Structure 1
Amino acid sequence: MGSLFEELEAREGAARARVEALEVELAEVSGRLGAARAGLERLRIARETVAEVLAEMAPQMPAGTADIGESPAAEWVVSTYAGAERQVIGVLTVPHWQPGMGAVVLPSDYRDIVEVVADAPGPVRAKQIVPRIGLPASAAKIEGTRAKLKRLVGRGWLDEDAPGLFTPARRRTDTSPNSRP
């Protein structure tokens, strides 16, 4: 029976060593997790700060830029929002429509949606837009496109006359989605 107790003690020792090794590993992983969380929080704060700064800058367009053609206002809007697709995540990705602003300031996927709606003979639904912008007609893609359509409505780029039916915004004087502001 002595050998059985010796075997149990050996196994207990091995299990204890494994537990201690795992505890050390857990402490290391916990430390890395804490550092990763801190980095994530810094990035979130930086993104929110940049979004606030850009939001405050948007209404401060240069004076004397009321004409719609190739004006300094157009250059300001394009330069302000040109990199938004790659740099800003969230609200400012789709700016609020302002007079003289063309779809060129929108990220490419939103610009494609505005073009499809503008080219349609009448109101369109999200499920009609999805294949026209090159996406598979899956429920997820339709819902994602519907969310983008709603965002475009909320920002003044499109109108929703009836639930789920989208048209170009009527208050715009320039309905050409490709025109430069």
Structure 2
Amino acid sequence: MASVLGILEERETAARVRVEGLREEVARLAGVLEAAEIDLDRRVIAREELVEALAASAAETTAVTETEAEQETALSPVPGSIVPPWREGLPVRVLAPDYQRILGVLEERQPADQGSLKAREITALLGLETTSAKVEGVRSKARRLAERGWLVQETSGAFSVGRRPVAVPDAGSSA
């Protein structure tokens, strides 16, 4: 029986070694877990601090932003909005984007002194199809810009860059 008792003692020793190894692993993992929890806490605090700082900053700038927004909305384009008569100091950004693009195409051509452009040429330079409907839409917008002093319409029907103050008796009649 001595051999059976020896086998049991060997197994018991192996089990003790395994238990000690597992205890060491648990202690190591507890240290890793503690470090990870500290890192998590730091990140949560950092996020909360950032949210508070951004909220405080937003509250400080809200009054200034509201005043600027009120001023900006007076100059902001609205799709389908009327084209205001041109006057000195009036920025192009008061125009709706389509009108700004038409002015941009003509202003790009002006420095090279390439003269005026017909509605079909403007339509093509805008990257639109040169179908009758598209050309007439561009022509209508360019005429409106010319009527309001943003562009010059020549007798040939071509348009060129040129700003002049105009008196528009019924500015609200066309969009």
TM-score interval, normalised by the smaller of the two chains: 0.3 to 0.5
Q: Which has the larger radius of gyration?
A: 2
TM-score, length-scaled by structure 1? 0.46
TM-score, length-scaled by structure 2? 0.48
